[in-house]
Structure 1
């Protein structure tokens, strides 16, 4: 088996697509690379924010669930999603920008020997900006040239993803024995009296290929809602490699979805022992499959298997204007 290449995407929940679009494109300066629908519920949007081309490893995606309630944080959850910025100087810029836009943040701190800013979006999703100043692993993407943020300060893609569990042992087994992660570091928890947070990496390692595992014995199970994370996906080279992973997961008798065609990539889903949803996703074919690079995300894109229902699908969606001046 080839090693997993790192983080592919993270998918979260929003109750308000319009507000979500404004925050991630105008304030964080990410590019909406795909406006489509949730393939499991076509009455709601699925929005993909990423770098200029939607390169794998740069996508933060949102399912719109208008009636989603409040998230009550806890264990068996993806409790933090990181976004990479080029260096420490960029992080200083971001500290000022977040304050300028009244974005709730904790200022610049150090975590796992890197400078970071923990912050929350309007729905209280837990996010972190992490500096790539010392990164020597997976390369980041390329910020969008038409971003509201200067290119030399822009978000490069996804950084470490934090999992919070009550009992870490079975999750460690899933990461290291089923998947291809190795423990590479640990750092103190910010929660009083809790064990150190363990750092696992795969592939080339670095900020784009890490899972941080937090053990908490003082929290209930998370009740997800708006601002919670639905799943994390890991990068697989291609469909042939994904088929090998399916065979491996089947052999280990882990319940799974089988291969799923998401059109922009192929996927396989399963839950690790603490109930957190993992996805393996191929690097291609990518988001330019059905739209020109210059116009990604500007109109509603539907996979071919939904195209004959376009009129019906569009009628159920609340209009969301994502056209941009060129």
Structure 2
């Protein structure tokens, strides 16, 4: 099984952009999301051939969660995971919500989280051509779970710099629950869980690991304000980065985890018809004159709408 097969055929997500790593155009950068590739629904992967497996440890983006509409959806997914032999645990509770932990084909730790009680950020829309159930399908990103050696340091970055609020956590089926932070409208799509694991070794990233987590900002003007905020707070950062589909800023929080601030637009339909997102290789303008040589080095991928 490969990345496209798992996320499109098993999880039923839409491939919303098939492009390349802008820093190494010889490999793919694949974006998955909801029907329109809405901000807050995007999960992305770099192709890195021959990379070794991740070694678990602290100072890590430990778990990424994906939203589904209801508690009943988790039963559907548990049965689907059994059919496709996807490693998974039992349905359990985190912050008062039902969740289903699982792993993808490379050992990437993930969870499906029910939106049944959500009263915050709205979810996206399930892809109409999803290979899984459109009734129970994935609608966006849920809480991000961080493991860090010093929770107070990450907490200060989240609250004093980025403007998150630490909130009273709900029920966790865990011996040591995390600290919970929320931003914006709150709810399932706007939370970060921080677990303190000071006795673990440092994580060593590899296959199944997460390189960075992105937080939404409205537009380029707001992003430039954040550049000033981070500079004034003494953080080293990337400065303004134009990714064509969005604008970004990268920095490491106090435990060394890489954070990205990314604008909601221009969006993935800036260079493709929204009805055909992800079906052809899309390149930013500065790489377009190299298209022939780039395509020659890439392994062709099937059309996820018509060939899978």
TM-score range normalised by the length of the shorter chain: over 0.9
1:27 alignment partner in structure 2: 10
**Residue 108 (str. 1) matches residue 102 (str. 2):** no
Q: Deviations over 1:188-209 (max 9, x none)?
A: 87776xx430110000000100
Q: Give, in whole Å, the separation in 2 of the partners of 1:183 and 1:40.
A: 36
Alpha-carbon offset, residue 218 of structure 1? 3.0
Tell me the matched-pair count: 307
CA distance in 2, matches of 1:240, 1:144: 31
After TM superposition, give the deviation of residue 324 of structure 1 in Å: 2.8
Partner of 1:67: 50
Query: C-alpha distance in 2, partners of 1:271/1:190?
Result: 30
Q: Matched residue of 2:168: which SS?
A: strand
Shift in alpha-carbon separation, 1:189–1:145, aligned structure 2, 3 A: closer
What is the DSSP-based 3-state SS (H/G/I as helix, E as strand, rest coil) of the residue aligned with 1:229? coil
Q: Secondary structure at the match of 1:158?
A: strand
Q: Give 3-state SS (helix, strand or coil) of 1:256's partner.
A: coil
Residue 14 (structure 1) aligns with: none
1:121 to 104, 112, 118: 104
In structure 2, what is the equivalent of residue 95 of structure 1? 78
Higher strand share: 1
Query: Counterpart of 2:60?
Result: 77
Aligned equivalents of 1:324, 1:198: Cα separation in 2: 40
* Contact kept in structure 1, 2:61 and 2:146, CA below 8 Å: yes
| Contact persistence 2:64–2:142 (CA under 8 A) | yes
Inter-partner Cα distance in structure 2 for 1:151 and 1:63: 27
1:290 is matched with which residue?
271
What are structure 1's unaligned runs of at least 5 residues?
A: 1-17
Answer whether contact 1:132 1:207 (CA < 8 A) is retained: yes
- Other-structure match for 1:4: none
Contact 1:299 1:323 in 2 (8 A): no
Runs of 4+ in 1 over 4 A off after TM superposition: 187-192
Q: How does the TM-score come out when normalised to structure 2?
A: 0.97
Taking the aligned partners of 1:298 and 1:107, their CA distance within structure 2 comes to 35
Determine if contact 1:233/1:279 at 8 Å carries over to the other structure: yes
Partners of 1:32 and 1:74 in 2: CA distance:
30
What is the aligned partner in structure 2 of residue 239 from structure 1?
220
Rounded Cα–Cα distance in structure 2 between residues aligned with 1:237 and 1:310: 31
Q: Does 1:230 pair with 2:211?
A: yes
Cα separation, 2, equivalents of 1:115 and 1:313: 44
Task: Report the Cα distance in structure 2 between the residues aligned to 1:40 and 1:220, rounded to whole angstroms.
Answer: 30
CA–CA separation in structure 1 for the residues paired with 2:257 and 2:198: 17
1:218 aligns with 2:211: no
TM-score, L = length of structure 1: 0.91
Distance across 2 between alignment mates of 1:92 and 1:33: 27
In the TM superposition, 1:249-264 aligns within 5 A as 249-264=230-245
Contact 2:211-2:258 at 8 Å conserved across structures: yes
- SS for the counterpart of 1:69 is coil
Alpha-carbon distance between aligned partners in 2 of 1:47 and 1:69, rounded to the nearest angstrom: 20
| Residues 233 and 251 (structure 1), Cα distance of their counterparts in 2 relative to 1, 3 Å cut | same
1:189, 1:294 → 2: CA distance? 40
Paired residue for 1:280? 261
SS in 1 for 2:2: helix
RMSD: 1.5
Partners in 1 of 2:218 and 2:289 — Cα distance? Answer: 31
Distance in 1 between residues matched to 2:199 and 2:85, nearest whole Å: 31
Question: Which residue is equivalent to 2:130?
Answer: 147
CA contact (8 A) 1:114 1:134 kept: yes
Structure 1 range deviating more: 312-321 or 227-236 = 312-321
Aligned to 2:284: 303
* Equivalent position SS for 1:248: helix
